């Protein structure tokens, strides 16, 4: 059922009717509607006051109205037309030129107040016929219904709605009835029964954040993306963020792990059997100060050197701080920012949705042909979300990582874990299942020193080293030293000698040598087997 | 037209537009009717369609109040139940020349246009006016 919007039709089979689709003019909404609005459909836009119903209707109307396909906007006992025009013209989609006949406003308030449903129906049909309107909006239809319910029974109301739908469809109009409804009114409501399409707009306030969501509850004749899609109202009107992230048309030919991407740290590449498999999602988990961001910088810097454009989505540091930090490690990334091979995305409003964030990232990925993405950090990401979205964080991350890796992007996400000395957590979000690969950084108390230890915990479909190596964050980035041998309980952070009970002492226990380039221990006679057998699932 | 939308006195450009509409109404259709009433009636038809009868009547009432502050003679003018101006003929009769009625007509029309500009902006106002007077040059490229 996929099709392109913008007035394209969709042919399902040679014997089936072609339903043309109209563009909504709302970014993202055509994707949610799998192409656009079915022409001649009879739709309801429902929601609470202030949820954006009128703005959505205006946006659709301005996107489709032209002198040849005019639109009629009936106002009924709702927002006075003069005030509505006063406010709606503030949106950028409001093209004043369309007021020259392409769009007409007709006030039905008096008629609704003074006459019956039959007269209202006659007036609407007469105006639509005279104007040859292709788009018809009734705002607010709820007031018509309320009046009708006071004076007529439900059956009469259903008859009125059905006749209205019949006439307007026969007149080849695509119709939108706007109404202030609550969800409980969905059942047995004749208006919803007759409607072909039902758009529901939600607005909720949680703590200090406003969360707006849209749902296409019903759409006859074509598929739509199910579920709640977040949206924002800006100067440009509604902007929806489909849960599909704008990737419905992307048929990925990307094969995960076809090649390895260097992390920028040669010794770490060796631990990972050559680097991060392309298209993988690597989770770098570790406590504060462990060097997670530094590793992200090295990963990105290595990429741009190799002609692989990168993006850093940062939720904690400011872009300037990031650039200064990179420079302090000897990476001059200014030229990459200028030539477009590196993009820094700073996202820190407090009412972000994951979908909105991912759309921002996906757009940037498409814009620069990004191959490497660093998300620094997931903790900051979660904090930037509106509280309502935090409960869905894991599910949203799952969709986000899936969407981005399908584009062939290799993701390095950092996550700060609270260090303790009894266990070794991988993240506070129970999200490690989302990662193809996990690198754990942690502190360990060795010989009276707080040493940094690194280990590759997991690499999906790939073998990797099982060594736990000491490392340092030097002025040039991460420097990985020798594997730590002779300890037990290294993962606890408070290791002891394996053979303490036997009274033996091993050289590794006595050394306070800082990590440096790895070399073979003189004690070893045989080459050390660096990599374990595959631990792939 | 930089000073459009000010609430103190109608700008020269609005006054000019009001004069054009009054002149067009005088020459075009009914030579026996008072031009202020004719202009108001044309605007009433156009505005009632989109703003409703009450919407237009409230705007006209406000315009009359504002104009009366400049021209106290307008206090005798009223707005009928159907939203029409009533009592303009008496203004002409009082002065005997018609000049007082003409000045009052300009004042009311200018105030009404000024209110529209204040609420919906110059561009939309001119488009609405153009709908009612499609053959009358309105200035600014004859919107």
* In the predicted structure, residue A431 carries a pLDDT above the cut 80: no
| pLDDT band (50, 70, 90) for residue A11 | low
Q: Return the number of other C-beta atoms located less than 10 Å from residue B126's C-beta.
A: 23
> CB of A376 within 8 A of CB of A414?
yes
By the CB < 8 Å criterion, does A91 face chain B? no
Q: How far is B30 from chain A (nearest CA, A)?
A: 27
Question: For A129-182, how does the pLDDT look when each residue is reduced to its tens digit (9 = 90+)?
Answer: 999 999 999 998 887 777 766 766 777 778 888 899 999 998 999 999 999 887
Closest residue, chain A, to B50 (C-alpha): A106
Q: Per-residue pLDDT averaged across A86-105, rounded?
A: 92
| Alpha carbon distance A57, A137 (integer Å) | 7
Terminal alpha carbon distance of chain A: 36
Residue matched to tokens 């009592």? B87
Tokens of A170: 């026969």
* In the predicted structure, residue A512 carries a pLDDT above the cut 50: no
By the CB < 8 Å criterion, does B48 face chain A? yes
* In the predicted structure, residue B131 carries a pLDDT above the cut 60: yes
Task: Report the range out of A135-139, A257-261, A351-355, A389-393 with the highest average pLDDT.
Answer: A135-139
Question: For A285-297, how does the pLDDT look when each residue is reduced to its tens digit (9 = 90+)?
Answer: 999 999 999 999 9
Give A465's DSSP letter: B
Q: Kindly determine whether residue A80 and residue B48, on different chains, have CB atoms separated by under 8 Å.
A: no
* In the predicted structure, residue A381 carries a pLDDT above the cut 70: yes
| pLDDT band (50, 70, 90) for residue A229 | very high
For residue A75, give every residue at least 6 positions away whose Cβ sits within 8 Å of its Cβ, in sequence order, or none: A81, A84, A105, A106, A107, A108, A109, A139, B50, B52
Closest residue, chain B, to A73 (C-alpha): B50
* In the predicted structure, residue A531 carries a pLDDT above the cut 70: no
Q: Per-residue pLDDT averaged across A463-486, rounded?
A: 93
Q: Which residues lie across from A34 on neighbouring strands?
A: none
* In the predicted structure, residue B70 carries a pLDDT above the cut 60: yes
The per-residue pLDDT for A404 is 84
Select the residue of A89, A100, A105 nearest B50 (Cβ to Cβ).
A105
**Beta-sheet strands, E only, within A322-436:** 342-346, 372-376, 410-416
Q: What is the mean pLDDT of chain A?
A: 84
Which residues of chain A have a CB within 8 Å of the CB of B51? 80-82, 105, 107
| Alpha carbon distance A91, A58 (integer Å) | 10
Cis omega before residue A323 (within 30°)?
no
| Alpha carbon distance A328, A336 (integer Å) | 16
Task: Report the range out of A507-516, B34-43, B83-92 with the highest average pLDDT.
Answer: B34-43
Q: Kindly determine whether residue A85 and residue B124, on different chains, have CB atoms separated by under 8 Å.
A: yes
Which residues of chain A have a CB within 8 Å of the CB of B5? none
| Alpha carbon distance A128, A41 (integer Å) | 15
Q: Kindly determine whether residue B127 and residue A110, on different chains, have CB atoms separated by under 8 Å.
A: no
Q: CA A2 → CA A34, A37, A225, distances in Å? A: 6, 13, 11
| Alpha carbon distance A351, A211 (integer Å) | 7
The per-residue pLDDT for A510 is 42
3-state secondary structure A256-290: CCCCEECCCCHHHHHHCCCCEECCCEEEEEECCCC
- Residue A154 exposure: Cα atoms within 13 Å on the Cβ side: 6
Q: Per-residue pLDDT averaged across A277-282, rounded?
A: 94
Which residues of chain B have a CB within 8 Å of the CB of A74? none
| pLDDT band (50, 70, 90) for residue A338 | very high
Q: Kindly determine whether residue B52 and residue A89, on different chains, have CB atoms separated by under 8 Å.
A: no
Question: For A340-357, how does the pLDDT look when each residue is reduced to its tens digit (9 = 90+)?
Answer: 999 999 876 666 777 888
> CB of B87 within 8 A of CB of B77?
yes
Which residues of chain B have a CB within 8 Å of the CB of A106? 49-50
| pLDDT band (50, 70, 90) for residue A504 | low
The per-residue pLDDT for A10 is 54
Question: For A48-77, how does the pLDDT look when each residue is reduced to its tens digit (9 = 90+)?
Answer: 988 999 999 999 999 999 999 999 999 987
Closest residue, chain A, to B117 (C-alpha): A86
Question: For B11-56, how does the pLDDT look when each residue is reduced to its tens digit (9 = 90+)?
Answer: 899 999 999 998 887 765 455 557 778 888 888 888 888 888 888 8
Q: How far is B47 from chain A (nearest CA, A)?
A: 9
| pLDDT band (50, 70, 90) for residue A525 | very low
- Element housing A216 (H / E): strand A209-219
Q: How far is B97 from chain A (nearest CA, A)?
A: 38
Share of chain B above pLDDT 90, in %: 20
Distance from CA of residue A379 to its chain's centroid? 16
Task: Report the range out of A253-267, A279-293, B2-16, B45-59 with the highest average pLDDT.
Answer: A279-293
Which residues of chain A have a CB within 8 Å of the CB of B55? 80-82, 107
| Alpha carbon distance A262, A285 (integer Å) | 18
**Beta-sheet strands, E only, within chain B:** 78-79, 85-86
| pLDDT band (50, 70, 90) for residue A325 | very high
The per-residue pLDDT for A400 is 81
Q: CA A166 → CA A121, A171, A188, A341, distances in Å? A: 11, 9, 20, 56
For residue A61, give every residue at least 6 positions away whose Cβ sits within 8 Å of its Cβ, in sequence order, or none: A71, A73, A103, A135, A137, A176
Select the residue of B50, B127, B130 nearest A106 (Cβ to Cβ).
B50
Identify which of A82, A20, A486, A282 has the alpha carbon closest to the alpha carbon of residue B55: A82
Alpha helix segments (H runs only) across A115-258: 117-131, 141-151, 154-170, 190-194
Terminal alpha carbon distance of chain B: 14
Q: Per-residue pLDDT averaged across A87-101, rounded?
A: 91
Q: Per-residue pLDDT averaged across A245-258, rounded?
A: 67
Task: Report the range out of A210-224, A267-281, A415-429, B70-84 with the highest average pLDDT.
Answer: A267-281
The per-residue pLDDT for B4 is 45
The per-residue pLDDT for A532 is 40
Is the entire prediction scored with pTM above 0.95? Answer: no
| Alpha carbon distance A318, A341 (integer Å) | 19
Q: Per-residue pLDDT averaged across A256-271, rounded?
A: 92
CB burial class (10 A; 0-12, 13-18, 19+) of residue A442? buried
The per-residue pLDDT for A529 is 44
Q: Which residue has the higher pLDDT, A8 or A5?
A: A8
Q: Per-residue pLDDT averaged across A99-112, rounded?
A: 88
Closest residue, chain B, to A102 (C-alpha): B127
| Alpha carbon distance A440, A524 (integer Å) | 27
Tokens of A159: 């008859």
Q: Which residue has the higher pLDDT, A511 or B13?
A: B13
Identify which of A425, A420, A427 has the alpha carbon closest to the alpha carbon of residue A381: A427
| Alpha carbon distance B65, A94 (integer Å) | 32
Q: Return the number of other C-beta atoms located less than 10 Å from residue A415's C-beta.
A: 26
Identify which of A36, A72, A75 has the alpha carbon closest to the alpha carbon of residue A54: A75
| pLDDT band (50, 70, 90) for residue A536 | very low
| Alpha carbon distance A288, A273 (integer Å) | 27
Those of residues 78-117 in B touching chain A at CB distance below 8 A are none
The per-residue pLDDT for B28 is 53
| Alpha carbon distance A257, A374 (integer Å) | 18
Q: Per-residue pLDDT averaged across A508-522, rounded?
A: 46
* In the predicted structure, residue B113 carries a pLDDT above the cut 90: yes
Share of chain B above pLDDT 70, in %: 80
Q: Kindly determine whether residue A86 and residue B59, on different chains, have CB atoms separated by under 8 Å.
A: no
Q: Supply φ then ψ for residue A474, to 5 degrees.
A: -100, -175
| Alpha carbon distance B103, B109 (integer Å) | 10
* In the predicted structure, residue B139 carries a pLDDT above the cut 70: no
By the CB < 8 Å criterion, does A110 face chain B? yes
């Amino acid at each position: 059922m996929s099709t392109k919007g913008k007035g394209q039709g969709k042919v399902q089979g040679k014997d089936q009717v072609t339903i043309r689709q109209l563009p909504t003019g709302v970014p993202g909404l055509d994707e949610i509607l799998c192409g656009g609005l079915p022409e001649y459909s009879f739709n309801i836009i429902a929601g609470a006051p202030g949820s954006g119903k009128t703005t959505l209707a205006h946006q659709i109307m301005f996107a489709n109205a032209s002198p040849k396909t005019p639109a009629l906007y009936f106002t009924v006992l709702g927002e006075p037309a003069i005030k509505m025009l006063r406010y709606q013209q503030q949106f950028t989609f409001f093209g004043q030129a369309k007021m020259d006949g392409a769009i007409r406003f007709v006030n039905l308030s008096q008629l609704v107040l003074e006459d019956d449903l039959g007269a209202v129906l006659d007036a609407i049909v007469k105006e639509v016929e005279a104007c040859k309107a292709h788009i018809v909006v009734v705002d607010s239809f709820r007031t018509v219904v309320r009046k009708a319910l006071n004076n007529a029974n439900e059956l009469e109301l259903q008859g009125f709605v059905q006749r209205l739908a019949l006439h307007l469809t026969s007149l080849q109009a695509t119709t939108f009835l706007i109404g202030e409804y609550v969800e409980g009114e969905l059942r047995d409501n004749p208006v919803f029964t007759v409607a072909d399409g039902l758009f529901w707009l939600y607005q909720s306030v949680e703590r200090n954040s406003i969360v707006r969501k849209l749902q296409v509850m019903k759409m006859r004749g074509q598929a739509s993306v199910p579920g709640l899609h977040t949206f924002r109202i800006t100067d440009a009107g509604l902007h929806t963020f489909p849960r599909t992230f704008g990737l419905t048309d992307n048929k990925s030919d990307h094969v995960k792990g076809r090649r390895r991407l260097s992390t920028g740290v040669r010794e770490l590449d060796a631990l990972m059997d050559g680097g991060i498999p392309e298209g993988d999602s690597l989770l770098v988990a570790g406590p504060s100060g462990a060097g997670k961001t530094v590793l992200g910088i090295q990963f990105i810097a290595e990429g741009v050197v190799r002609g692989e454009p990168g993006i850093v989505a940062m939720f904690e540091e400011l872009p300037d701080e990031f650039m200064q930090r990179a420079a302090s490690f000897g990476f001059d990334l200014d030229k990459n920012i200028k030539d477009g091979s590196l993009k820094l995305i700073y996202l820190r409003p407090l009412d972000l949705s994951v979908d909105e964030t991912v759309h921002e990232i996906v757009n940037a990925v498409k814009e620069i042909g990004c191959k490497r993405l660093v998300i620094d950090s997931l903790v900051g990401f979660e904090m930037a979300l509106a509280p309502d979205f935090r409960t869905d964080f894991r599910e949203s991350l799952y969709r986000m990582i899936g969407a981005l890796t399908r584009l062939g992007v290799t993701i390095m996400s950092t996550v700060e874990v609270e260090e303790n000395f009894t266990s070794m957590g991988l993240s506070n979000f129970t999200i490690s299942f989302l990662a193809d690969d996990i690198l754990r950084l942690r502190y360990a108390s060795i010989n009276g020193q707080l040493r940094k230890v690194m280990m590759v915990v997991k690499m999906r479909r790939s073998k990797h080293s099982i060594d736990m190596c000491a490392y340092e964050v030097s002025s040039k980035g991460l420097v990985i030293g020798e594997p730590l041998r002779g300890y037990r309980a290294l993962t606890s952070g408070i290791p002891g000698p394996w053979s303490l009970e036997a009274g033996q002492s091993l050289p590794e226990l006595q050394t306070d040598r800082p990590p440096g380039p790895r070399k073979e221990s003189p004690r070893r006679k045989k080459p050390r087997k660096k990599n374990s057998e595959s631990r792939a699932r | 037209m930089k000073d459009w939308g000010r609430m103190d006195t109608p700008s020269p450009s609005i006054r000019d537009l009001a004069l054009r509409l009054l002149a067009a109404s005088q020459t075009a259709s009914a030579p026996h009717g008072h031009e202020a009433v004719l202009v108001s009636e044309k605007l009433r038809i156009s505005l009632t369609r989109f703003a409703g009868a009450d919407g237009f009547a409230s705007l006209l009432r406000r315009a009359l109040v504002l104009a009366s502050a400049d021209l106290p003679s307008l206090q005798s003018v009223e707005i009928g139940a159907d939203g029409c101006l009533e009592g303009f003929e008496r203004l002409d009769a009082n002065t005997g020349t018609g000049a007082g009625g003409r000045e009052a007509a300009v004042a009311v029309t200018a105030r009404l246009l000024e209110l529209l500009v204040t609420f919906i902006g110059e561009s939309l106002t001119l488009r609405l006016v153009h709908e009612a007077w499609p053959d009358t040059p309105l200035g600014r490229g004859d919107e």
